[in-house]
Amino acid sequence: MSLERAHHDYTISDDPARLDLDVIHGFLSRSYWSPGIPRATVARAIANSICFGAYLGETQVGFARLVTDRATFAYLADVFVLEPHRGRGLSRALMELILAHSEVQGLRRWLLATRDAHGLYRKFGFAELANPALFLTRHDPDVYQRGAHA
């Protein structure tokens, strides 16, 4: 059963059938965090995540993806609102629906990475890592250009 909420003229939904892979891939392949990401990789990421869309009528204008074990941990990724629809509270509405989702209640840890939206996420309880030395990363920014994503 899908979770859906109205936000002014928009709808925020977790219904995977509504997701528009063309819109999502189009944005992500040009974003600063996943330039050149292959369409098949986006499709696989969506299939293995809880995803949320923002829609004006039937047209997708925003997206967020939650990578989670649904018990202890979630990583929020790929959050965007298309430029013509920004400034209307859609990011906030996406976050409210994500945090209200029944499959992610009671999680011990949430993580995300952002270059420029710290203010938005702080409103929902996110903060800088209290002890960054505990966290390690393995990052391969050129993986999509090398074709090593399959």
pLDDT tens digits for range 97-108: 999 999 999 999
Question: For residues 62 and 85, what is the distance between their CA atoms, to the nearest angstrom?
Answer: 8
Residue range 63-70: average pLDDT?
98
Q: Which of 27, 70, 24, 63 is nearest to 48 (CA)?
A: 70
Residue 129 tokens, joined: 């890592």
Q: Which of 63, 39, 69, 33 is nearest to 51 (CA)?
A: 63
How many domains are there within the chain?
A: 1
150 CA to centre of own chain: 21
Q: Which domain holds residue 53?
A: 4-146
pLDDT of amino acid 150: 52
CATH of the domain at 101: 3.40.630.30
Statement: residue 67 has pLDDT above 70: yes
Q: Structure pTM?
A: 0.93
Statement: residue 147 has pLDDT above 80: no
Q: For the chain, give the percent of residues with pLDDT over 90.
A: 90
Question: For residues 90 and 82, what is the distance between their CA atoms, to the nearest angstrom?
Answer: 10
Phi, psi of 104 (to 5 degrees): -125, 25
Statement: residue 93 has pLDDT above 80: yes
pLDDT of amino acid 148: 60
Question: For residues 142 and 29, what is the distance between their CA atoms, to the nearest angstrom?
Answer: 13
Statement: residue 91 has pLDDT above 70: yes
Give pLDDT tens digits for 2-45. Answer: 899 999 999 999 999 999 999 999 999 999 999 999 999 999 99
Question: For residues 150 and 99, what is the distance between their CA atoms, to the nearest angstrom?
Answer: 31
Residue 65: half-sphere exposure toward Cβ, Cα within 13 Å? 17
Residue range 74-84: average pLDDT?
98
Q: Which of 8, 103, 99 is nearest to 54 (CA)?
A: 8
Question: For residues 78 and 112, what is the distance between their CA atoms, to the nearest angstrom?
Answer: 10
143 pLDDT band, cuts 50/70/90, is confident
Question: For residues 150 and 146, what is the distance between their CA atoms, to the nearest angstrom?
Answer: 11
